[in-house]
Amino acid sequence: MASFHYSFQKVVDLKTSEKTQQEWLLSSALGALTAEEKSLNELRETKLEWEERLQAASQRSVPLAELQIIGQYLDYLQTCIENKLQDVKKAERVVEQNRSKLADKMKDEKVWLKAKDHAMDRFRQALQLKEQNELDEMATVRFIMPTP
């Protein structure tokens, strides 16, 4: 019995490899996004802590210079938070781009796998037809041959 050999198997393998590589890139982008979000949350928590310190310092007698330093640090933290928000949005865009590319790669792979399946079906049909013809020929030969 003949075995099926798909002539475009290397293309199918390439498309599968490209999809896998894109999955890795998406995973990496998701990891970067998670790290950016974690960093943003840490900055927000730090800002809340310093706001509480400022509140506590303003309720007790603390030199004005210390209050100004805390206020300046809070302004710095707010700037860091705004910058980090931009970084998070940038990471989200990268994730969305990678998702889109992955969807394209998955569609591409699916097209090639479907083409391979169709080729396999045609191969099976041709093989069945060949076997049926051989069986028909054997039956015809037996019918024509006289029985002893």
In the chain, domain spans: 9-108
Q: Which of 21-35, 74-88, 125-139 has the lowest mean pLDDT?
A: 125-139
DSSP letter for each residue of 54-90 = HHHHHHS---HHHHHHHHHHHHHHHHHHHHHHHHHHH
CATH number of 9-108, picked from 1.10.287.1700, 2.60.40.10, 3.40.640.10, 1.25.10.10: 1.10.287.1700
What are the start-end ranges of the H helices in the chain? 9-59, 64-144
Average pLDDT value for residue range 42-66 = 91
Question: pTM for the whole thing?
Answer: 0.76
Of the pLDDT bands very low, low, confident and very high (cuts 50, 70, 90), residue 62 is confident
Please, what is the average pLDDT of the chain? 93
